[in-house]
Amino acid sequence: MKKSKKFALLTGAVVGATAIAAHVMKKKAEKTTYEADLIEPIEKRKMGLYEKYGKRILDIACATAAIVVFSPLYLGVAALVKLKLGSPVLFTQDRPGLIGKDGKETVFKMYKFRTMTDERDENGELLPDDVRLTKFGKWLRNTSLDELPEAFNILNGTMSVIGPRPQLVRDMTFMTKEQRARHTAKPGLSGLAQVNGRNGISWEEKLDWDRKYIQNVSFAGDVKIIFDTVKKAFIKQEGITQDDMATAEDFGDYLLRMGKVDVDTYRENQAKAGEILGGKSIDKKDSSRIEKVEQSAKSQKYSVLMSLYKKEKPEYLRLAIDSMINQTVP
């Protein structure tokens, strides 16, 4: 048999096996995916041909290639997580995904490598995130290696290579309908917000980048974001944690801290998130976090030191003062 025929047969077999695996995984994912039925529906967005059909082909090809090529890395990281943090190696969490036919978000299970321990206090409650996040866990996050298992989310169709990053369900309950428009696109491993600041930008900026993405979904745009992501995450090794926080700040916590929602609205939306997640009430750990955010929102004070230079133009002083006024917490 000629080499060209062997290659064609091998390629066909790989493509066929990949298609079957993706179909099986999609059916399995459907069993654990459910609707956020307690939230108000939003208007659906018309998708172009690429987003509707071509994007899925790109997703399967990229996810399969990543799993095959980086299989030694998957095994190595899994072994290190098992050794340093114990079982389970994978961390799963329910995240809001693409909206369904009725305009309400579906909620799917997202996979990551574990980065925290299971340390608990004397009452059996999990310790705060900053205590449970180890140096090894921080390294996994800074290198984005904890994101590797999301390739299986891409393969099963709950995520895409490129799209708005899936946030927490409790973030979704604080979003306006305009901000939730990001869920009219399948959530992605990376997106415009991730290559334009990641957690170094404000929540409003992140959500704005997501809205810009859904307004112009294209193959060329996705390819550019893929290359920018590789450059930022693996070459520059930009971290995903925010300032001195162990994990990125929740949207609701940010809104309360900035005085953009009141305590009653904050607690109401936190409770709604718990109900969407299967009637889960706010546990002691979350209750403690909420209390700290509320206290922080009440007691925050800032000092500003602004240097002025003798030969600077006077209008620069007005611009600087306006900037501070616009960013002042009420």
Q: What is the tens place of the pLDDT at every residue in 280-325? A: 655 555 666 677 777 766 666 555 666 666 566 676 677 777 766 6
> What's the pLDDT tens digit per position in 154-210?
999 999 999 999 999 999 999 999 999 999 999 999 999 989 877 678 899 999 999
Q: In this structure, is residue 3 part of a structural domain? A: no
Average pLDDT, the chain: 84
Higher pLDDT among residues 108 and 128, named by residue? 108
Helix, strand, coil percentages (3-state) for the chain, rounded to 5, are 55, 10, 35
- Rounded to whole angstroms, the maximal C-alpha distance in the chain is 83
Asked if the model's pLDDT at residue 224 lies above 60, the reply is yes
Angle at which helices 55-69 and 219-230 pack, to 10 degrees?
30
Alpha-carbon torsion, ordered 261, 267, 268, 273, to 10 deg: 110
Domains contained in the chain, number: 1
Provide the residue range defining the domain that includes 175.
Answer: 21-303
Q: In this structure, is residue 319 part of a structural domain? A: no
Prior bond to 128 cis, omega within 30?
A: no
Q: Give the C-alpha separation, 233 to 25, whole Å.
A: 27
Q: In this structure, is residue 63 part of a structural domain? A: yes
User: Is the separation of the CB atoms in 169 and 94 below 8 Å?
Assistant: yes
Percentage of residues in the chain having pLDDT higher than 70 = 77
**What's residue 200's pLDDT?**
73
**What's residue 203's pLDDT?**
92
Assign 118 a pLDDT band (cuts: 50, 70, 90): confident
Q: In this structure, is residue 8 part of a structural domain? A: no
Q: Give the C-alpha separation, 144 to 157, whole Å.
A: 21
DSSP 12-41: HHHHHHHHHHHHHHHHHHHHH-EE-TTS--
User: Is the separation of the CB atoms in 99 and 39 below 8 Å?
Assistant: no
Alpha-carbon torsion, ordered 249, 251, 256, 260, to 10 deg: 140
Please provide residue 194's backbone torsions phi and psi, each rounded to the nearest 5 degrees: -70, -30
Q: In this structure, is residue 105 part of a structural domain? A: yes
Q: In this structure, is residue 1 part of a structural domain? A: no
Q: In this structure, is residue 316 part of a structural domain? A: no
Q: In this structure, is residue 320 part of a structural domain? A: no
**What's residue 117's pLDDT?**
87
**What's residue 219's pLDDT?**
96
Q: Give the C-alpha separation, 217 to 210, whole Å.
A: 11
Cβ burial of 21 (10 Å; 0-12, 13-18, 19+) is middle
